[in-house]
Amino acid sequence: MWEFPGGKVEPGEAELDALVRECEEELGVGIEVLDRLGEDILLQSGTAVLKVWMARLVRGEPVAIEHSELRWLSVDELDDVPWLPADAPLVEALRAVLPVR
Q: What is the full per-residue pLDDT of the chain (101 aa) written as tens digits? A: 998 888 889 999 999 999 999 999 999 999 999 999 988 888 877 778 889 999 999 999 999 998 889 999 989 999 999 998 888 888 989 988 887 76
pLDDT at 10: 94
Q: Which CATH class for the 15-97 domain? A: alpha beta
CA dist 81 and 53 (Å) reads 20
pLDDT at 44: 78
Sketch the domain layout of the chain as residue ranges.
Answer: 15-97
